Structure 1
Amino acid sequence: MRQKRAKAYRKLMSLYSMSFGFRQPYQVLVDSEMCKASIAQKLELNKQLGIVLQGSVKPMVTQCCIHELYLQGKDQQPAVDLAKTFERRKCNHREAIPGDDCLASVVGETNKHRYVIATQSQELRTKLRAIPAVPIVHINRSVMILEPPSKATLEAKESVEEKALHPSAPEIASLPSTVPDEPLKKKGPKGPNPLSVKKKKAKPPSAPKESKSEQHKNQIGEKRKRTDGDLAEQSRSPEESSGHKRKRRRKAHASSGGADDAGDHST
């Protein structure tokens, strides 16, 4: 597959996935004509469907389509064997009906089960283009092609987007109220953690400052105390201060005795 075509198919399948809820593995309803064409063109149907739809696939077939292949004779036995390898989709038809009518009834008016239709029937493709969100796959000259979205599909996509942008009054009423009971606090710089902040210690009351005159009086009082102490030392008796004098006399006596001894030795 060419790169441009693969990119277009990937984009188209993403549209079906985002707008209509298609999910992998994609459920692909295959009709009898597609089984016959894949055998005639020698195509691996499972592999080609996975390449075109850009993902994993689950091929399915209805009992009416298999019965239609049986009615065409033994020449279509390879197509019958191929159809039997697919998963059976119950169509709830007690008597077999044509394959086109069977697939149209299974898809319904809204394709609520998200089926991808792989068919070679031109009448069925024309009928399915009127139904929104129905991807259609067919084979053209041994090349499998995914058809572009139909007009009904594009209109349904726009309506879905419009509902998402502008919800109705009942939908708005069903939504939970987003208004808080309490007014929101304004964001701003937060203060420090009160538990981590130390309390300020109370300073002791400071003593009143003294005036210059009082400071001068205190200095005079200190001088007077010093002079009184000096007078008290001078008024002491010689006996009280004899301890110091005796030490001095002894030193002097020792010095004089040493001098006398030196004189005796010289004589």
Structure 2
Amino acid sequence: MRFKKQKRHRKTVRFFCVCFGFRQPFKVLCDGTFVHHLLHNDLTPADKALSNCLSAPVKLFTTSCVLAELKKLGAAQSASFQAARKLAIARCDHEKVVSADACIAEVIGENNSEHFFVATQDADLRKKLQKVPNVPLIFGLRNALFLEQPSKFQRDFVKSSEEKRLHLTEKEYKALEKRTTSVSANADEEDSGDEEGLGHHNPGLQPHDTRNYSGKERDVKDRVRFKRKKAKGPNPLSVKKKKGHENLNRASGKEVKGDDGNGENKRKRKRSRRGKTVAGADV
């Protein structure tokens, strides 16, 4: 049962964080009835009890009107008054002291700009604040604290606001209508100039209709084409070595063996007999 309660509380906290921008540490505005409930049921320290309820760090606030109301109750609420004095004071700007519920309702206002969680045991005040879109409510039951789920009014407000975001506002609609009329007027002027045959050429960008052209004739390609890398030649590491070098080495080895002991090739000089024949003729 405790796990289901924590899961429900986290879901409610997430609703207000996402839809209304609540951020940690959460600010909790307490009245005198809630402070008295915490002391009567030994839910102390109060910040730890509320942080366990919201599963997040908290900062506690109260108002000067709440303190004045507790002080008027006398010795019966002296402990609650001393405990409430330790909390931070939220500004209420009341020159005259008003009731605690009226003061808290005025601090919250119509849109709860300070993003307060309101902790109170006053059922009438909780019903009144349920009609404000972004006010999460906390109350105590015996020795446990509970976070109320968003009311029907708050959920309907969120749905209506989401629908409004999907549609154009009046200002945006007027701006769009003005722009479309100006574009259509410029297009009509260009068409009339072409019909008259003035021959003027507009150097600016012209609208290009690509509905009647094929994909090859368009400047922009319909889809990206990737070039496949083809093998330019065999892998040199997988090819056998050529045998030309071995044949040359073998041939050179044979030539060396046929040479003289000195290892040098001597050219033989051919003698001509032309001189002998001339000498014989003279004789």
- Shorter-chain TM band: 0.5 to 0.7
1:245 aligns with 2:246: no
Where does residue 35 of structure 2 map in the other structure?
35
* Structure 1 stretch displaced more, 28-37 or 78-87: 78-87
Where does residue 13 of structure 2 map in the other structure?
13
Amino acid at match of 1:54: S
CA deviations on 1:132-165 (whole Å, 9 max, x unpaired) are 1110000012210001111111011102221333
1:243 Cα offset (Å): 4.7
Which aligned pairs between 1:176-255 and structure 2 lie closer than 5 A?
185-186=220-221, 188-189=224-225, 243-245=271-273
1:164 aligns with 2:165: yes
Structure 1 pair 162/188, CA: closer, same or farther in 2 (3 Å)? same
* Structure 1 stretch displaced more, 150-159 or 59-68: 150-159
1:8 Cα offset (Å): 1.3
Q: Contact conserved, 1:29 with 1:117, CA < 8 A, in 2? A: yes
In 1, distance between residues paired with 2:137 and 2:156? 17
Which aligned pairs between 1:83-122 and structure 2 lie closer than 5 A?
83-122=84-123
1:77 Cα offset (Å): 2.1
1:59 Cα offset (Å): 0.7
SS of the residue 1:244 aligns to: coil
SS of the residue 1:75 aligns to: helix
CA deviations on 1:61-90 (whole Å, 9 max, x unpaired) are 000001111011123222112111111111
Structure 1 pair 172/7, CA: closer, same or farther in 2 (3 Å)? farther
1:106 Cα offset (Å): 0.7
Where does residue 145 of structure 1 map in the other structure?
146
1:53 Cα offset (Å): 1.7
CA deviations on 1:97-123 (whole Å, 9 max, x unpaired) are 110111011111222221110000111
Where does residue 22 of structure 2 map in the other structure?
22
Amino acid at match of 1:56: P
Structure 1 pair 148/248, CA: closer, same or farther in 2 (3 Å)? farther
Amino acid at match of 1:188: V
Q: Contact conserved, 1:26 with 1:115, CA < 8 A, in 2? A: yes
Which aligned pairs between 1:52-71 and structure 2 lie closer than 5 A?
52-71=53-72
Structure 2 length as normaliser, TM-score? 0.62
1:55 Cα offset (Å): 1.2
Q: Contact conserved, 1:19 with 1:160, CA < 8 A, in 2? A: no
Percent of residue pairs identical: 32
Structure 1 pair 173/24, CA: closer, same or farther in 2 (3 Å)? farther
In 1, distance between residues paired with 2:166 and 2:276? 118
Q: Could you tell me which runs of 5 or more consecutive residues in structure 1 were left unpaired when the two chains were aligned.
A: 192-241, 250-267
Amino acid at match of 1:85: K
Which aligned pairs between 1:70-81 and structure 2 lie closer than 5 A?
70-81=71-82
In 2, distance between residues paired with 1:58 and 1:17? 16
SS of the residue 1:102 aligns to: helix
In 1, distance between residues paired with 2:83 and 2:171? 50
Q: Could you tell me which runs of 5 or more consecutive residues in structure 2 were left unpaired when the two chains were aligned.
A: 180-204, 209-218, 228-269, 278-283
In 1, distance between residues paired with 2:64 and 2:17? 28
In 2, distance between residues paired with 1:248 and 1:66? 153
SS of the residue 2:118 aligns to: strand
1:27 Cα offset (Å): 1.3
**Superposed CA RMSD:** 3.0
In 1, distance between residues paired with 2:149 and 2:59? 21
Where does residue 219 of structure 1 map in the other structure?
none
Amino acid at match of 2:11: K
1:173 Cα offset (Å): 7.2
In 2, distance between residues paired with 1:65 and 1:248? 152
Structure 1 pair 112/173, CA: closer, same or farther in 2 (3 Å)? farther
Structure 1 pair 166/119, CA: closer, same or farther in 2 (3 Å)? same
